[in-house]
Structure 1
């Protein structure tokens, strides 16, 4: 099947106007030849290159992970740790180990000069339930590898909430230990009303390990407001592969403050859009016949599985493999796998990875000049709407769940094109390093349109006298993270013209709600008993621009309308005209895209101009669906989600502000561990080392087409960083993948291919070798 798509691609590339079908025998021969992908270099690995420096942003090694684990567990450390497998709520135990972000001030002397390679440190999160005042505390351990000079110190300097790396117990991550402590109370409540839940919902919950249980319990975040209290909002679904699509109208609210589980208590039960503070009040309403299940949920989840649906039939010709993007002639990018360093058509960059943030890029240069020091995800958030506890209370920060660890093997030819370079993703997990094979792909892809083209003249049979067209393509680096119900596809494209495109697509199951006929303002009905809950997706990023060097400014070019007269149009008098009003932002601020797109924002070099005297820079070009949170003052996102509440922000770069958010912030909306809003303290952003923070996302207006899963085609958001006077002219003049076609006075057509001919696929065969380019010209 792949062979057919290869020849189809060759046909389209070579001469789209060819309409005559080739000789059938030649066609069959072409199929067999093209089926050997090695003959066109399709399966050849990317050429290797040696990175100019050892990657200073790389993850700590597996040996370092194990050594750090052993060090913090040693009695001499004084941390009094229990192995996580044996720990309870009131023990001290390691939650995770990760690589500590290395300060920019330490890396620049090394990466740009002859400075020493910065030392690496581990970041260790320890849940200290055994303390008199239980907390979560972060530590930094280094320098690595572990030696007599390695120290264990509190990691406080990257947090500005007032307590450093400390988080109160009630606001810390809700892990398995806390869930186990809560389970007895939940089982007690649900067992006492099992006759009601069976009658109303044909299901009961007697504990996650009890064979009688045929409901799935799930929780939302946040579980606290400021760390002084804790609560758990529990929803129930029918179990199965599509559990998120089969919720039932039952919610249990628990108070779970502190480490003493005997003091936990029921806050209430919600069903039928009513709140019952006690089991007795719920039972009284049930006995009075006031409770019903008006729209029963189905246990049959076949309708929500991602597989063919027989009753929908089959589309004509769907038995053929869909068109494929392939790298004919071999890969045009180079890779240093060990250092995670890439070179492509003038681009160079390093790749790094974090368990909390996922894929990150550093030292991004175009033709030897730095454009970005860092490009990284900061948060993937979602906030829901609805008139019931689950939807109203639900806000997700996916860094809280360590989004980087939710990668998985990609499906070649579907998630990424055939022939992509597939790389493993690794991260510390306990005392070892976990490997997710083939979870990141790199590939060059046809843009689907020329980078540039133009024709002149139209008096000939061909409709032109001269035509130039430059082939468009881009190098993509892609990964997919499935966090619970959603699949996020992150794609970073490096284009030939020097622009960078960041896009995110969302698929997966809706976190749906049971259907309520009077709550259509929160989402449509999408099945017999299911309603699609409206929600916002907001994805926050950090772009530390260093246009040529670290002295940059944020330039605002506003298109304004003015009244003016022009003496050569005396009959018009005063009329409206457009002007550009260009200013530089002076101090740190959050701001939004201008209405009608009438303001262009560019990061420009303070000390470098192009040959025409214009400040060299990169423009921020909004793409599809650049949004921020709809709600500005929700009790669930009041202070810990400041970065999510504007399209853009600019701050001065500081080593103690490497992140816009803390991974544990979600449970502290009133008292965040790290407060993005504190970044804005009046510092200058003119001729400084500046960072742009930007949000992508989607207002998810749910629909029946979200069944079985949300589609990547519609749930997409993007932004482009494009050269703005960074160069002296368009970056296409040195590209050879182009065609120049001319028609002379007699109507004869000639063309120049600049030495880039169509590929010839060769195999060992008795028949003569077929040149695909010659075959296509028949």
Structure 2
């Protein structure tokens, strides 16, 4: 009995000792890991360049500045603006606020310490539903505005009609309500063809432009299954909605397309459907080929980026320094990312490098894709720059920056981690040479570059925008498109305009145009763009004797008198082969 108690005590003593050892080791590991130097935690070497506070002349508006502009405009009784996100088209809606860039000459004088600080101003866009116009205003000075002025005529040399406005969230709400009415009036067809009822619906994807003549506001709307990867699940139903009126009760359906056949009205479609005179679409469960959920679990972690001696770049406010590089940056809600005052070795080489437009043109026999020419700046390229995912969109060790935007919202919105900056290896040397012929030696330089990135998701497309700064002094503007294709329902004749990618799904033929603005300032502002034309000419080699100098003339004479296909020189004469 005593021996059994002794064994139990010994066993429990050992257990407690092991537990105490484990706890002690965990504590010691925690203490040591806290003291030990971590990769990328501290910069070992000093930066080559210093930050410049004058870069703030290009800085996007802060949250407080947005609010100051909004409050100032709301106090102006003659503007009578609304900031409600569900404002009616007939209201005066404050749609956009963003930085109004000062003139280049004034900014350069300021940057080069020869002029005063430019007045900081904002641009505000108001949809004047009550006047039937779209207007732009400049508001300033910031941060405490005291004036605004209408600059629409000055900037565009014309008045802009309200029909030219982009569709706001408030108008989308009215459109969705209008489309629910269309579904309810075609109840039987919608259920049998698309499984639509009170609990299930379809997703709408609008096409652009909204008409074929100036002043039109008629949009073909295509419908897709409400499943992951909606853009590759078309159902074969499209509606042309006339929403030109500022009164949603006056909106009408002008045409419909069902399974490749056009109808003049909902009543016409319903009548022919009930009579069995149309080729019906029979609902079938859609496979999940559009899901982004991974089908296989990764077996191991892929290669990672780390900075062994700390980051060789630094970000302060809206200014970046990296080795011999420095630049200011911003993100326009309309046009996207941009950099200013780009310097290499302390010398300005670029005043501005910015995204301007992303356009895509489609082809099809169905009306939506047939008409579509997306001009993404009309929707807002930078507007859709959302949070970047660490380890996927950018490396874990990248620097992530927040942005604020005011476009079609009741107040400024913060977009966390919507810009990333990182240095990475290019995977090839900056330069190298192995001297095999003479000295049997090697010389090479490792290469890496700084990437300034944002990603904008505009409908089905995700555009990855990169400005890349190389150690050689060159800059690359790069865009990579991913996301989903824009598709249409497969009908007769449509295979001429794309490829079938799934059952009844056509990947439509299309092309992309991307525009950048590049304002070069190399050794000053008097730069120009030059091209060289090339043409073939006959000429004698300068070291040839007089006899050999006559060879081109002999060839030309033979070409004129005979049909020859090929002439070549031998050691003694010219030989021409006839056709």
| Aligned equivalents of 1:413, 1:260: Cα separation in 2 | 48
Query: 1:629-778, aligned counterparts within 5 Å?
Result: none
List runs of 5+ in structure 1 lacking aligned partners: 1-34, 205-210, 576-778
Which among 266, 272, 282 is matched to residue 279 of structure 1?
Answer: 266
Q: Secondary structure at the match of 1:244?
A: helix
Residue-by-residue CA offset, 1:209-253 (whole Å, 9 max, x unaligned): xx4442122322222445533212111111123111111101111
Instruction: Tell me the C-alpha RMSD between the 2 structures.
Output: 2.7
Contact kept? 1:37, 1:43, Cα under 8 Å = no
Residue-by-residue CA offset, 1:482-541 (whole Å, 9 max, x unaligned): 112211111111111111111110111112111235321211111123211121121111
Which residue of structure 1 aligns with residue 138 of structure 2? 140
Which residue of structure 2 aligns with residue 223 of structure 1? 210
Residue-by-residue CA offset, 1:648-693 (whole Å, 9 max, x unaligned): xxxxxxxxxxxxxxxxxxxxxxxxxxxxxxxxxxxxxxxxxxxxxx
Compared CA separation, residues 446 and 157, structure 1 to 2 (3 A):
farther
| Aligned equivalents of 2:144, 2:109: Cα separation in 1 | 24
Which residue of structure 2 aligns with residue 711 of structure 1? none
Compared CA separation, residues 536 and 471, structure 1 to 2 (3 A):
same
Which residue of structure 2 aligns with residue 396 of structure 1? 374
Which among 433, 441, 448 is matched to residue 466 of structure 1?
Answer: 441
Which among 407, 424, 427 is matched to residue 448 of structure 1?
Answer: 427
Which residue of structure 2 aligns with residue 57 of structure 1? 58
| Aligned equivalents of 2:53, 2:311: Cα separation in 1 | 21
Residue-by-residue CA offset, 1:520-567 (whole Å, 9 max, x unaligned): 121111112321112112111100111111111212123432211225
Which among 504, 508, 526 is matched to residue 483 of structure 2?
Answer: 508
Query: 1:335-346, aligned counterparts within 5 Å?
Result: 335=315, 337-338=316-317, 340-346=318-324
- Please state how far the C-alpha of 1:458 moved relative to its aligned partner: 6.0
Which residue of structure 2 aligns with residue 116 of structure 1? 116
Which residue of structure 2 aligns with residue 535 of structure 1? 510
| Aligned equivalents of 1:355, 1:556: Cα separation in 2 | 34
| Aligned equivalents of 2:335, 2:150: Cα separation in 1 | 21
Q: Secondary structure at the match of 2:82?
A: coil
Q: Choose between structure 1 and 2 for higher RCO, CA contacts under 8 A separated by at least 6 residues.
A: 1
| Aligned equivalents of 1:343, 1:297: Cα separation in 2 | 57
Question: Larger deviation: 39-48 or 168-177?
Answer: 39-48
- Please state how far the C-alpha of 1:158 moved relative to its aligned partner: 6.0
Contact kept? 2:196, 2:202, Cα under 8 Å = yes
Q: Which protein is bigger by CA-based radius of gyration?
A: 2
Query: 1:556-575, aligned counterparts within 5 Å?
Result: 556-566=531-541, 568-569=543-544, 573-574=551-552
Which residue of structure 2 aligns with residue 172 of structure 1? 165
Query: 1:167-316, aligned counterparts within 5 Å?
Result: 167-183=160-176, 185-203=178-196, 211-293=198-280, 298-300=285-287, 302-309=288-295
Within the alignment, does 1:42 sit opposite 2:57 as a pair?
Answer: no
- Please state how far the C-alpha of 1:472 moved relative to its aligned partner: 1.3
- Please state how far the C-alpha of 1:395 moved relative to its aligned partner: 2.0
Compared CA separation, residues 497 and 199, structure 1 to 2 (3 A):
same
| Aligned equivalents of 1:280, 1:157: Cα separation in 2 | 45
- Please state how far the C-alpha of 1:288 moved relative to its aligned partner: 4.1
Q: Secondary structure at the match of 1:411?
A: coil
Which among 337, 345, 352 is matched to residue 374 of structure 1?
Answer: 352
- Please state how far the C-alpha of 1:365 moved relative to its aligned partner: 1.3
| Aligned equivalents of 1:45, 1:289: Cα separation in 2 | 75
| Aligned equivalents of 1:86, 1:458: Cα separation in 2 | 75
Which residue of structure 2 aligns with residue 618 of structure 1? none
| Aligned equivalents of 1:259, 1:334: Cα separation in 2 | 50
Compared CA separation, residues 229 and 38, structure 1 to 2 (3 A):
farther
List runs of 5+ in structure 2 lacking aligned partners: 1-32, 554-579
Contact kept? 1:297, 1:528, Cα under 8 Å = no
| Aligned equivalents of 2:313, 2:120: Cα separation in 1 | 29
Q: Secondary structure at the match of 2:531?
A: strand
Compared CA separation, residues 553 and 36, structure 1 to 2 (3 A):
farther
- Structure 1 outlier segments of 4+, above 6 Å: 35-38, 45-48
Q: Secondary structure at the match of 1:564?
A: coil
Which residue of structure 2 aligns with residue 759 of structure 1? none
Paired residues, what number? 515
| Aligned equivalents of 2:414, 2:86: Cα separation in 1 | 25
Contact kept? 1:65, 1:431, Cα under 8 Å = no
Residue-by-residue CA offset, 1:313-356 (whole Å, 9 max, x unaligned): x8xxx512222333322211233x22x21222211111122111
Q: Secondary structure at the match of 2:536?
A: strand
Q: Secondary structure at the match of 1:558?
A: coil
